[in-house]
Amino acid sequence: MKRNIAVIRGDGIGPEIVNQALRVLDRVARLYGHEFTYTDVDMGGCAIDKWGDPLPEEMLQRCVSSDSVLLGAVGGPRWNEVPGPMRPEKGLLRLRAGMGVYSNNRPAKIWPQLAAASPLKPEIVDKGIDFLIVRELIGGIYFGNHDTVTENGEKVAIDTLRYSESEIRRIGRIGFETARKRRRQLCSVEKSNVLDSSRLWKKIMHELAEEYPDVTLSDMLVDNCAMQIVKDPSQFDVIVTENMFGDILSDEASMITGSIGMIPSSSLGQTTCGLYEPIHGSAPDIAGKDIANPIGTILSAAMMLRYSFDLPKEADAVEAAVSATLDAGWRTADIYDGENGKKTGCAEMGDRILENLG
């Protein structure tokens, strides 16, 4: 398979962690007979310094015309004074809009080797936590009309929550397709006992279910889901939900897994060209010290292999190599408990994962 990947190293620890992920992709290509080529893209603070724009149009076009995009992180205190529309994070928003990605997918997985870092009780963690939240990204209350008016002498703030059938259907399909590539269990989360938008959501999900007879669909109210994620997260495979519910639940889910440096994410739209990035930021406090954890980025590359390139065997191999490296006790500073295991740096963690990949 030949694929061109747009690579955004970005700012802070971005270049360090992305370099490790590229070494892993190169090894996968060599082992499995693929050809991955990389196109460098400037985005964020480094693009402001070089081009005076966090995402020049030409850079966006490089992403849109690639087969997928791998991103480290952008931003940092150096660009805090830059005016609003030119801030590093605006580059990311323009990239998401330009790529038309409307679905953000975040796995919540506990690595048994790091189970002690989870704030949940061992008996809950021991049942195994490995699920993924598919969140609608560009609709709902965050994108509805916002207004503040004065009524009867006091201010009244109004935020509008709207979803169309087509918006629900396209994110629903991502939920079903994702479940198909996992354990085929999809839980649709809404608030249909109160909200019209949720009742429409539920209706569309059940219509879609007829097209995916191999996937088992269940429904859950969002308040119950928030409880179940801490009570018995082992019950979930894939959760699909609207923008604001997904925002809150995916942060809750990332907390129960322990370290922010371990968690990958993908954003997908109509095409297979996705945006893959770790969920953390540019960590300026540790940039340039070779101590950042590259695993979230390496697992983002594994998600790219699985979800954009349809290479599940290769994705499994990368995840197994990460697991074997943790089994062998290798820990970057953020996941080192001070006693157990062997403390290592960003590049050496990459070396160890490559060794285990073969």
Q: Which residues are catalytic?
A: 142, 191, 223, 247, 251
Nearer to ligand NAD, 222 or 292 (CB): 292
- Terminal-to-terminal C-alpha distance of the chain: 20
CA distance 279 to 74: 11
- Cβ of residue 50: shortest distance to ligand NAD, in angstroms? 17
DSSP string, 226-276: HHHHHH-GGG-SEEEE-HHHHHHHHHHHHHTTS-GGG-EEEEEESSS--EE
> Is residue 282 a contact point for ligand NAD (CB under 6 A)?
yes
> Is residue 246 a contact point for ligand NAD (CB under 6 A)?
no
Please tell me what DSSP assigns to residue 283. -
Residues 59-78 that bind ligand NAD (CB under 6 A): 73-76
Spacing of C-alpha 154 from chain mean position: 41
Among 70, 99, 286, 349, binds ligand NAD (CB under 6 A): 286
> Is residue 254 a contact point for ligand NAD (CB under 6 A)?
no
Nearer to ligand NAD, 197 or 254 (CB): 254
Q: Do residues 20 and 294 lie in contact, with contact meaning Cβ atoms separated by under 8 Å? A: yes
CA distance 57 to 98: 10
Run of H or E residues at 18: helix 14-32
> Is residue 281 a contact point for ligand NAD (CB under 6 A)?
yes
> Is residue 300 a contact point for ligand NAD (CB under 6 A)?
no
Q: Of 217, 10, 200, 216, whose CA–CA distance to 95 is shortest?
A: 10
Residue with smallest beta-carbon separation from ligand NAD: 281
> Is residue 46 a contact point for ligand NAD (CB under 6 A)?
no
Among 54, 261, 264, 274, binds ligand NAD (CB under 6 A): 261
- Cβ of residue 68: shortest distance to ligand NAD, in angstroms? 16
29, 38, 40, 266 from 71: Cα distances, Å:
19, 12, 10, 10
Nearer to ligand NAD, 246 or 281 (CB): 281
Q: Do residues 321 and 310 lie in contact, with contact meaning Cβ atoms separated by under 8 Å? A: no
Pick the stretch among 98-106, 218-226, 283-291, 337-345 that binds ligand NAD (CB under 6 A): 283-291
Among 92, 138, 263, 322, binds ligand NAD (CB under 6 A): 92
Spacing of C-alpha 134 from chain mean position: 9
- How many positions of this chain bind ligand NAD (CB under 6 A)? 22
Asked whether the CA dihedral 330, 332, 334, 336 is positive or negative, the reply is positive
CA distance 232 to 243: 23
Nearer to ligand NAD, 79 or 201 (CB): 79
Count the neighbouring beta carbons within 10 Å of the beta carbon of residue 52: 9
Among 82, 115, 195, 260, binds ligand NAD (CB under 6 A): 260
> Is residue 250 a contact point for ligand NAD (CB under 6 A)?
no
Return residues touching ligand NAD (CB under 6 A).
Answer: 13, 17, 73-76, 89, 92, 260-261, 277, 280-286, 292-293, 296, 334
